[in-house]
């Protein structure tokens, strides 16, 4: 969805999608991001790790734990999309408590059932 600054006027309705994003830094460089897209009736989680930056495994797991802490505060189920660039993405999502949901357009979706955790 494209939006123009002119679309955001006092009293105007909000666009149907919004997002919240955190950046993860290591040695002064952004090494990854995570966040959510708030869509109508859905919360979609995402993350991306930068290539070519040597990040200690503990730093990655701390960022993952932070993102999960934030996500667990939501009372509804939410979705995550596995990365096609990282072979172990789906495995990591399952380890974090996500269940495979479905594949659409060659993309694997996972779901977090808040009431089951």
Count CA atoms closer than 13 A to 54's CA, side-chain side.
Answer: 0
pLDDT of residue 21: 84
Q: Which of 86, 77, 23 is nearest to 45 (CA)?
A: 77
pLDDT band at 88 (very low <50, low <70, confident <90, very high): confident
Separation of alpha carbons 14 and 78, rounded Å = 21
Q: With a cut of 50, say whether residue 14 has pLDDT above it.
A: yes
* Cβ-based neighbours of 106, under 8 Å, separated by 6 or more: 84
Q: With a cut of 50, say whether residue 1 has pLDDT above it.
A: no
pLDDT digits (tens, 9 = 90+) for 39-53: 777 777 777 777 777
pLDDT digits (tens, 9 = 90+) for 58-82: 877 887 887 778 777 765 677 788 8
Chain-centre distance of CA 39, in angstroms? 13
> Comparing 66 with 115, which gets the higher pLDDT?
66
pLDDT digits (tens, 9 = 90+) for 91-105: 888 888 889 999 988
Q: Phi/psi class of residue 65: alpha, beta or left (left: φ > 0; alpha: ψ in -120 to 50)?
A: alpha
What is the set of domains in the chain, with CATH numbers?
20-116 (3.40.630.30)
């Amino acid at each position: 969805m494209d939006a123009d600054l002119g679309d955001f006027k006092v009293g105007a309705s909000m666009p149907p999608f919004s997002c919240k994003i955190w950046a993860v830094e290591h040695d002064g460089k952004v090494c990854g991001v995570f966040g959510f897209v708030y869509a109508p009736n859905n919360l979609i989680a995402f993350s991306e790790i930068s290539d070519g930056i040597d990040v200690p495994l503990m730093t990655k797991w701390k960022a993952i734990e932070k993102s999960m802490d934030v996500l667990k505060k939501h009372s509804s189920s939410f979705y995550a999309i596995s990365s096609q660039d990282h072979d172990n993405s789906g495995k990591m999502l399952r380890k974090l408590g996500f269940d495979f949901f479905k594949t659409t357009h060659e993309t694997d979706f996972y779901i977090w059932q808040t009431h089951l955790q």
